[in-house]
Amino acid sequence: MISLSINGKSYSIETQEDMPLLWAIRDIIGLTGTKFGCGVAQCGACSILIDGTLTKSCSMPVSYGIGKQIFTIEGSSSNLEFLRKAWNDGNVPQCGYCQSGQLIAATSLLDKIEIPTDEDIDKAMSDNICRCGTYTRIRKAIHEAVELKNDAI
Amino acid sequence: MSNIQQINRRDFVKLFGLASSGIILGCTISSDKKEFVPQTDGKFTPNLFVQIQEDGNIILLASRSEMGQGIRTSLASAIADELEADWKYITVQQATGNAKYGNQNTDGSRSVRTLLEPMRKMGATAKAMLITAAAKKWNVEESVCKAENHFIINKNTSDTFFFGDLVVEASKVAMPAEETIKLKKVEDFKFIGKTLKSIDLKDFTHGTATYGIDVRIPNMKFAAIARCPVTFGTVKSFDSSDAEKTAGVEQVIALDRIVPPTGQFFGALGGVAVVANNTWSAFKGKLNLNIEWNYGDNHSFDTDKFKETLTARLQENGKVVPGSRGNVSAAFSNSEKIIEATYHVPFLVHAPMEVPNATAWFKGDKIEVWAPLQDPQTARAEIAHFFEIPLENVTVNVTFLGGGFGRKSKSDFVVEAVALSKKINAPVQVVWTREDDIKHSFYHATSAQYLKASFDKKGNVSGWLQRVGLPSITSSFKPISDYASGLELNQGFTNNPYDLDNFRLENVKAEAHVRIGWMRSVVHIHSGFGNNSFVDEMAFAAKKDPVQFHLDLIGKDRVTVGRSNHSFNSKRMKDVLKNTAKNAGWGKSLPENHGLGVAIHYSFYSYVATIVEVSVKDKKVKIENIWTTIDCGLVLNKDNVKNQLEGAAIFGMSLALFGKISAKDGAVEQHNFFDYQMTRMKDAPKIHIDIMDKMHEPPTGVGEPGVPVMAPAICNAIFNATGKRVRSLPLVDFGMV
């Protein structure tokens, strides 16, 4: 029995320890918001936060998550909510599939850098592929989220 | 002609499980033939439903698949506009695959251009019935009543009825005759031509949208399939003992190839399936299989050699294609100057972020599937055919698509899931790995083309010869053809936008050794690259400005009427080019090592011009700016069109910079996103989209027309910056990325 804490909730699951967190989260626990895109940490669709660190869940085993705080797109945080609002204002998604990972990567960026520059965004967001090509909107929405946050203070 | 009919409410409830009361309208149009490539003719068959509930909520049925093009929002907004509905009451429900909804094939950039009018009529009909109901209640003439923002208003008294409060009365009203239905004027549109955000935004930003891969059925299994590395190879023998020992694996099962019958369907490749209680175990078990293959006829396929073969064939005359005109040979012999060039585009793959996947449940006399499908009716017909179940016993549920780009028009992955469910007698989700997606797709064809043009003594273009060889989409359907079809050549080759008196197009043999399919923009990718690269070379040879040269070559204002109801208007082509040149500041002085390149293309009845600014430093190309103008007639959702064009620019960049599928010994060499690369955030330039205001013209395609201009505009910009001409894609092959 393995115990995982996801979005503040505790889950006890039975599974092999080498199963990537992605599949434990999706297939065993049933939180399907985190997506499979490549399986080799190349596209970022499976991005989650583990103890606040941006992680490609397709390439980390379940055992790595034991005793740590896991955060997925089903969760909520102050920065994620500002980003969601900005994503909405900017009508960012097309097919939407990669956007879970994009939002988690952007959350991680804002958690680390209060006011990111374009260069910061390039660096933080280039692990996340959007085949629909919504990059310019994502960039704009991240800047917008910062403004929304500043307006709220 | 459309024919609006009232649907029995109980039938509707049965179909969609809607329990609340309300009025339901259906709009049917006679069935259309299945189309497997974008059609030049816009004969269409929509069948859409609206249900208004007593609480005022309105449920609209989306008959087309949502793959990021915003169709659920766009179609719903067309109904809501004519209905004078308040958008906050609208929800959209996805239709299952069923011919009664008309043509549901979501490709060819055709949903809005074929469905806008029927959708509007449906909304207008509902509104007329609500007005009749209100007039009855007030005992006044209908002319006294008008609809506004979810209310019917009595113009004399200013009394109002909420839509929901008219539901019972409206249910008793007879359907008005279609000819009495009046549609709104462009000036009165409330949603059409404006911007409405995606109706699915909340789900997209909370991870709650259900894609195919997210479908969960009680007691379902998960499966991965090992397929032969060589297309149409078969299993000789296999040892499953290691796979069976893999934790979570339950069964290993051989699947035969399912060969499609003549002229239709996609079948399935077959292979060895690993069934497990989770996706990861299935993937891992698959890697633990030991399989010996019969590679079959395609075992020696080599894309480098094939490129040489095609290029050699371009030296000989091909089959002259209808649409050729004048006397090119005479023009060449009387010419002052001749230029020629050969261009290559490699095989490409769609690689949607959501891999192909399907969940199927074979229940003996019934089959139900859940899948991200662009063409659910073909999937349904295919399942009924192969598994010998009556069509009405096959239910195809359409989920959200995590990207489609043409890959999800082909239902092979659904057929696999049904075959496996039948064998294991349980619901099962077949998930392709990314490697499966890259290595076993229906590929966008490679092409080689040779262009030769002459200038007369006045410096005018006097003759144009174009030879093209590309494996045909028709090769995936029997009878197999070794030549591009007319439908394919009509995508930018026979119908380029130039005013040429002497024009000859020749079709060169090109066999298929992999499954050929269609990818976003299809053959326009080849014609757009060849035409625009060559015109840029001609402009340079003629020492003329490329934009002016394009304008001169498009020639005088003229309207060319084709077989479709959309004619080609050369003025609209020139106008988008002039507008783009203005937006890009064409002619301005540029920083050192920067260059501008231009391309135009007419596809899916839309006019597009793009100018790209690149910088080249240490031989590495960076795309700095992209300016695109589209004239797509009436715009249904402005910001959505903009988003599609931005996305098309990135999609076009990806194929120009990185896109290449190669094969050795019959097997595809690429694996995953590390060797089939995509444009990423750090590569994303500034993109400036402009949409021509043509609200009185019929709507034309949006999803695809932005792609074909990208590769040639980038290559022309590189030439402008460096003097180096790139005639073969992708740029990464030349160390330029």
Q: Which residues of A touch B200 (CB under 8 A)?
A: 93, 96
Q: Give the integer Cα–Cα distance in Å for B235 and B724.
A: 48
Q: Which chain A residue has its CA at the smallest distance from B67's CA?
A: A95
pLDDT in tens, B488-543: 999 999 999 999 999 999 999 999 999 999 999 999 999 999 999 999 999 999 99
Taking only residues 417 to 436 of chain B, the set having a beta carbon closer than 8 angstroms to any beta carbon of chain A reads 431, 433-434
User: How many separate helices (H) and strands (E) can be counted in chain A?
Assistant: 6, 5
pLDDT in tens, B267-301: 999 999 999 999 999 999 999 999 999 999 999 99
pLDDT in tens, B86-124: 999 999 999 999 987 888 999 999 899 988 988 898 899
Residue that the structure tokens 């049933």 belong to: A30
CB B213 within 8 A of CB B354: yes
Question: Is residue A123 domain-shared with residue A62, that is, in the same domain?
Answer: no
Least confident of A42-56, A94-108, B251-265: B251-265
CB B606 within 8 A of CB B632: yes
Q: Give the integer Cα–Cα distance in Å for A124 and A116.
A: 10
Helical segments of B425-523, H only: 434-439, 486-489
Question: Is residue A49 domain-shared with residue A83, that is, in the same domain?
Answer: no
Domain termination site, one of A71, A102, A120: A71
Instruction: Say whether A129 and B680 touch across the interface (CB within 8 A).
Output: yes
Residue B24 has pLDDT above 60, yes or no: no
Nearest to B205 by CA among A5, A107, A120, A111: A107
- Does the residue B205 lie in any domain? no
Which own/partner pairs from B177-184 qualify as long-range (CB within 8 Å, at least 24 positions apart)?
A: B178/B1, B178/B2, B178/B3, B178/B4, B178/B121, B178/B125, B180/B128, B181/B4, B181/B121, B181/B124, B181/B125, B181/B128, B182/B124, B183/B82, B183/B117, B183/B120, B183/B121, B183/B124, B184/B81, B184/B82, B184/B120, B184/B124
Question: Is residue A59 domain-shared with residue A97, that is, in the same domain?
Answer: no
Question: Is residue B524 domain-shared with residue B563, that is, in the same domain?
Answer: yes
Structure tokens that stand for B453 in this block: 């043009």
What pLDDT shows up at residue B8?
A: 41
- pLDDT tier at B9, thresholds 50, 70, 90: very low
Which residues have C-beta within 8 Å of that of residue A111, sequence separation ≥ 6?
A: A49, A52, A77, A79
Side chain identity at B65, as an amino acid letter?
S
User: For residue A147, what is the domain's CATH number?
Assistant: 1.10.150.120
Q: Number of structural domains, chain B?
A: 3
> How far does A106 lie from chain B, in Å, by closest CA?
12
Question: Is residue B434 domain-shared with residue B309, that is, in the same domain?
Answer: no
Residue B173 has pLDDT above 90, yes or no: no
DSSP letters, A61-72, are: BHHHHTTSEEE-
Residue B142 has pLDDT above 50, yes or no: yes
Is any Cβ of chain A less than 8 angstroms from the Cβ of B66?
yes
Q: What is the ipTM of this complex?
A: 0.98
Range of the domain at B362: 220-297+350-439
Residue B12 has pLDDT above 70, yes or no: no
Q: Cis check for the bond before B479: say yes or no (omega within 30 of 0).
A: yes
Is any Cβ of chain B less than 8 angstroms from the Cβ of A99?
yes
Stretch (H or E) spanning A5: strand A2-6
Domain termination site, one of A23, A47, A71: A71
Nearest to B360 by CA among B375, B370, B348: B370
CB B21 within 8 A of CB B54: yes
Q: Which chain A residue has its CA at the smallest distance from B649's CA?
A: A133
Beta strands in B199-336 (DSSP E): 221-226, 234-239, 249-255, 271-276, 290-294, 319-320
Nearest to A40 by CA among B527, B674, B632, B449: B674
Question: Is residue A66 domain-shared with residue A110, that is, in the same domain?
Answer: no
Range of the domain at A133: 78-152
Instruction: Say whether B647 and A94 touch across the interface (CB within 8 A).
Output: yes
| Mean pLDDT of the B320-342 span | 97
Q: Which residues of B touch A98 (CB under 8 A)?
A: 353, 402
What pLDDT shows up at residue B48?
A: 52
| Mean pLDDT of the B39-67 span | 67
What pLDDT shows up at residue B31?
A: 28
Residue B633 has pLDDT above 90, yes or no: yes
Question: Is residue A31 domain-shared with residue A61, that is, in the same domain?
Answer: yes
pLDDT in tens, B426-454: 999 999 999 999 999 999 999 999 999 99
pLDDT in tens, B682-733: 999 999 999 999 999 999 999 999 999 999 999 999 999 999 999 999 999 9
User: For residue B46, what is the domain's CATH number?
Assistant: 3.30.365.10
| B102 DSSP assignment | B
Question: Is residue B115 domain-shared with residue B244, that is, in the same domain?
Answer: no
| Mean pLDDT of the B330-338 span | 97
Residue A19 has pLDDT above 80, yes or no: yes
